[in-house]
Amino acid sequence: MASGTSFLAPRDLSGISIPDMLRSEGTSFSFEFFPPKNDESEQVLWEAIRHLEKKRPSFVSVTYGAGGSTRDRTVRVTRRIAEETTLLPMAHLTCVASSRAELRSVVGAYADAGIRNVMVLRGDPAGGLGSPWVAHPEGLDHADQLVSLVRPLGGFTVGVAAFPDKHPESASLEQDADVLVAKQRAGADFAVTQMVFDVDNYLRLRDMVAARGGTLPIIPGLMPITSAKQITRMAELSGAALPVALTSRLEAVGDDADAVREVGVEIATEHASRLMAEGAPGLHFYTMNRSTATLEVFANLGH
């Protein structure tokens, strides 16, 4: 498969707003990728993009690497998605190791590509989780400050992160709800959560935000589990504890890799079905640059 060959004709998506899409589509479906580190992994990424493109997702996004790395590659891949596919890209932007001027430059690159939807995050400390956060001397400390920086530039709609299992640096879920409302007041239009391992936790955060007057849509994030090692690592990176209801089902199949994957797809399907029934505005799938497991979940949902 040639990575630059589109199966569907590119279309102008520059005027489409994710918040407007959420209001008009019912449940949205979106996918997240991470930037490739080399030519081989870039080929894998584009194969996944082309497979998932056929499902006509509401939007897709490309992350920064850990600690703000791969920024330039993220911008390049996001721009290429905008120019060569039928997909609506949501750009990523973090405060990590960037001055205000550098952040404005990245936003300008996105605007030049016709991208108008941006996910803004403080980002993980450069030293990784557990390391102290150190802002760039001419940069920003918090995501709400980045929202305020991006908002006036180029007519963007702005997404922010939400943490259903509590942010690793937060004192409580109540504080997380307060922070999310503060992000909305700074100009955020919608939120996407870290991976939801417990649907009740997502619902609790959503209701706490609503009780504080927050109205921004909160899209839950999901990732079909394809290996026990992978999900443990992702939980560590997000700072979330895996619920016993999930780990017990994985442990029951032991080291059988195919069975772990099958159970992982079942769990993602169950979570997706319940989230839709509970009125979640969308489902955001963390694909790990692979398409098969996500497509299986889609098939199980009737898509």
Residues noted as catalytic: 32
Chain centre to alpha carbon of residue 168: 17
Q: Which residue has the tokens 């209801």?
A: 245
Angle between helices 173-186 and 143-150 (to 10 degrees): 10
Distances (CA, A) of 91 to 8, 58, 184, 263: 21, 14, 18, 32
The sign of the dihedral angle between the CA atoms of 147, 45, 22, 193 is negative
Q: Which residue has the tokens 């791969």?
A: 70
Looking at residue 67, the DSSP 8-state letter turns out to be G
Contact call for residues 81 and 113 (beta carbons, < 8 A): no
Q: For the residues of 182-216, what is the DSSP string, one character each?
A: HHHHHT--EEEEEE-S-HHHHHHHHHHHHHTT--S
Tell me the C-alpha distance between 293 and 295, whole Å: 5
Residues 6+ apart with CB under 8 A from 284: 30, 31, 32, 192, 193, 219, 220, 221, 222
- Does residue 3 sit in helix, strand or coil? coil
Amino acid (one-letter) located at 206: R
The sign of the dihedral angle between the CA atoms of 246, 34, 81, 94 is positive
**In whole angstroms, how large is the CA radius of gyration of the chain?**
18
